[in-house]
Amino acid sequence: MKERIYRIVEKGAHGSKGNLIFDYAIMLLIIANTFAIFLETFPSISSAYKSFFNLFEFISVIVFSIEYSLRLYVSDLTYPSSSRTKSLLKFIFSPYAIIDLIAIIPFYLPFLIKIDLRFIRILRMMRFVRLFKISRYNSSLNLIWIVIKEKKSELTVTGFLAFLILLVASFLMFHVEGNVQPEKFPNLFSSFWWAISTLTTVGYGDVYPTGVGKIIGAFISVLGIGVVALPTGIIGSGFMEKIGNKKHDSEYCPHCGKKIK
């Protein structure tokens, strides 16, 4: 019986028909949840179908709770380990199980704790994390993940350099524009917001330099190209490396004929 449940709820395990139906049903429910979240933000729809949305939320949480419980139940098959407790802990603290739990817990919280409902509304945002479950079903993102992980140090350094540029630029801009446009650059944080908007080449146009500040603005705009070029080059070379590795997989020494890699 347990084996059977395992085959159905844990994907990738056996790829049976039951497993497929289960996976698609859960995915469909996740997508429907996202739609409901979107529609609920329209005041007219939200008030007209309030009871429907409440019902849907109720059913969704029930289904997700059952799913979580089942996965918890078969965790010793998913994570074969020395003891039952170890398997349980391994499952509970696996990234996806944490996301699954956070996705259902806000529903149970209001009954437990008596706090301001507006705070709960912000907590409910977490319900959105439910979406991330879709990614569990996609194994293709593995390569992207590996490339980013392998290039982590270069990307971090690039990010750090960009952060230093942002700090220096926002500081300079604050001292140049702080007195000219005090309502746009009241403090260093406003100046930092401008710097990010410029370096990432978003350029909303809510804050922009005038006069001498344009010189700093021009420099940051130009550096913004580098801030795009560096990570792109790093990631590109990371993907190339992966391909290269795959290609050289079966290389032989020209001297002794033995396999090298």
Residues 41-60 within binding reach of a copy of itself (CB under 8 A):
41-43
Instruction: Give 58 or 160: the residue with its C-beta nearer to a copy of itself.
Output: 160
The residues, any chain, with a CB within 8 Å of residue 261's CB and separated by 6 or more, are 248, 249, 250, 251
Among 214, 216, 249, 250, which residue sits at the site for a copy of itself (rule: CB under 8 A)?
Answer: 214
Q: Per the structure block, which two tokens stand in for 195?
A: 């710097």
CB of 16 to a copy of itself, least distance (A): 24
Stretch that binds a copy of itself, among 7-15, 71-79, 100-108, 166-174 (CB under 8 A): 166-174
Q: Does 217 bind a copy of itself (CB under 8 A)?
A: yes
Residues 50-109 within binding reach of a copy of itself (CB under 8 A):
none
Place of tokens 């709960």: 120
Q: Does 225 bind a copy of itself (CB under 8 A)?
A: yes
Residues in the chain: 261
Q: Maximum Cα–Cα distance for the chain, whole Å?
A: 79
Residues 111-150 within binding reach of a copy of itself (CB under 8 A):
121-122, 125, 128-129, 131-132, 134-135, 138, 140-141, 143-144, 147
Cβ 5 vs Cβ 73: under 8 Å: yes
Q: Tell me the H-state helices in 41-116.
A: 43-48, 50-73, 75-78, 84-92, 95-112
The residues, any chain, with a CB within 8 Å of residue 239's CB and separated by 6 or more, are 143, 147
Residues 230-249 within binding reach of a copy of itself (CB under 8 A):
230-244, 247
Among 5, 30, 34, 102, which residue sits at the site for a copy of itself (rule: CB under 8 A)?
Answer: 34
